[in-house]
Amino acid sequence: MIRRFAITFGAVALIALTPGAGSAATITRTQQGAVINYGELAAVTCLTAKQCTAVGGAPAGALAEKWNGTKWVTEPKPPAPGTNGFLSAVSCTSATACTAVGTYVPKSGKEVELALAERWNGKTWKYEPTPTPAGATLADLVGVSCSSATACIAVGQVDTPSKPGLMLAEGWNGKKWVIQPTPEPTGVVISGLSSVSCSSTTSCVAVGNYSSTSLSGPFALVEGWNGKKWAYALPPNPSGACTAGPPPYKTGCTVDSEFLGVSCPSVKACTAVGQYVPFSAGSYPPPRSLAENWNGKNWTIESSPNPAGRTKYIQPPPLAAVSCSSAKACTAVGQYVNNSDDYQTLAESWNGTKWVIEPTPEISTGRILYGVSCKSSRCTAVGNQNATRVETLAEGWNGKKWVIEAPART
């Protein structure tokens, strides 16, 4: 099985971890031509330093693994009412209550992919039906956050016959999933949500991006949930957003931005990460890391470093996920391609004042990080390794350095 996407926000679907000019990056789960050997992990959540759950996909379908403080072990295979099950996000409120979401291909034979939700009860994963808009050819959930066992929010994107590329938000009330309407900025052409974080049942923040008729873009987008409805916000772009229309734009304006991950340790403290591309006449700079902070009133850009030697435009989004144990302690992970065309893992930490790149272990065959979860000074990050025979990858931060954790064998 070759898993090439979790969600596409741009107007053009791309593959092989490559963002394109004028469109937002596509989150892809493996490099083009790769063969999944043991599987890959897309997300992780930790209840304690010794209790983490990670999800993703393997040749047999959806994959879930458990960290017990010493090693990773596989959990019973999550079921799906079809084939090609893949889990993109997971959230746990206790050892016996986890929710994971993703996508699967139904047995109908139609060329569609539908949203997938699974519930862990401490022993097994059970499939939960999710509603799908009429006629949808794609309904993909890529982010989930649970504030209690009976309160979860999942987000993603849906394609319908009338409009491809719409934000999708669904809520779990302990009995069923219900679609929640999400408002859009004026003139939206395409939109999608990539991550969500709930600090309480009445306070959730979801992030993604959107394209509109009035701006170049796509650009980063924020949606806030107050327990009853969603409301959107447009966070700032470095040096401002380039207006719609053909170049030349003002040098340095942002031509493309998106949020891929968000973490809210409290109602008045959220951090969102992703990427942006500055306009430069006659050249195509690589995407740069983007980090912004919410203080309860406004979004503010935080200066975040970029790996040295990234001179090529074709790059994956630098920061794909973030986890904050407090407003002054966050860790973000992602990837980049060096000048030798090797995929490298990227980790950055926030100390309340600045972001700093943390060295990650060298793996000669290439490696990528998609998800991270931190409890106090301990963090766990997951992804995949090896560009030709994809295997799960997990790394642990022990307060001083990142170390590779032995993978489970599916």
Express each pLDDT in 104-133 by its tens digit: 999 876 678 999 999 999 999 999 999 988
**Long-range CB pairs of 239-242, under 8 A, 24+ apart, other chains included:** 239/278, 241/215, 241/216, 241/217, 242/215, 242/216, 242/217, 242/279
7-405 CATH, one of 3.30.420.40, 2.120.10.70, 3.40.50.300, 3.30.70.20:
2.120.10.70
- Alpha-carbon Rg for the chain in angstroms: 19
As a whole-number percent, the residues of the chain with pLDDT over 70 amount to: 86
Tell me how far apart the alpha carbons of residues 286 and 224 are, in angstroms, rounded to a whole number: 30
Of all residues in the chain, what percent are helix, strand and coil, respectively (each to 5)? Answer: 0, 55, 45
Other C-beta atoms lying within 10 Å of the C-beta of residue 305: 15
pTM of the full predicted structure? 0.90
381-399 confidence digits (pLDDT tens): 999 987 566 789 999 999 9
| Whether pLDDT at 102 is above 90 | yes
264-317 confidence digits (pLDDT tens): 999 999 999 999 998 888 777 889 999 999 999 999 999 999 988 776 666 788
Q: Residue ranges of the domains in the chain? A: 7-405
Q: Which two tokens stand for residue 324?
A: 């904050």
The pLDDT-based confidence of 1 (bands split at 50, 70, 90) is very low
- Residue 95 confidence (pLDDT): 96
